[in-house]
């Protein structure tokens, strides 16, 4: 049976994972990202104009969508 320290560590991990997921999915349209958050390649000007606040290049966005993310 897990003790209180194990339970609190598990709960903290869940909160941490939720916070990370929220940070990844929250977009701020006031910020213009020049480089892809996944691969580091430059995000083209056309993509940045069409999708304000995008954080992924076209290739990484397509891969993410194919994976169901």
For residues 60 and 38, what is the distance between their CA atoms, to the nearest angstrom? 7
Print the domain residue range for 42. Answer: 4-66
Owner of token pair 């290049």: 57
Extract the residue ranges of the chain whose pLDDT is less than 70.
Answer: 1, 23-31, 69
Q: What is the DSSP letter of 41?
A: P
Domain total of the chain: 1
Owner of token pair 């609190």: 8
- Cβ proximity of 17 and 24 under 8 Å: no
pLDDT at 13: 87
pLDDT at 52: 85
């Amino acid at each position: 049976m897990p003790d209180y320290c194990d339970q609190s560590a598990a709960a903290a991990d869940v909160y941490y994972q939720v916070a990370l997921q929220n940070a990844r999915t929250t977009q701020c349209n006031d910020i213009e990202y020049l480089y892809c958050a996944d691969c580091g390649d430059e995000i083209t000007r056309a993509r940045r104009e069409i999708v304000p606040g995008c954080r992924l290049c076209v290739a990484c966005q397509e891969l993410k969508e194919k994976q169901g993310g």
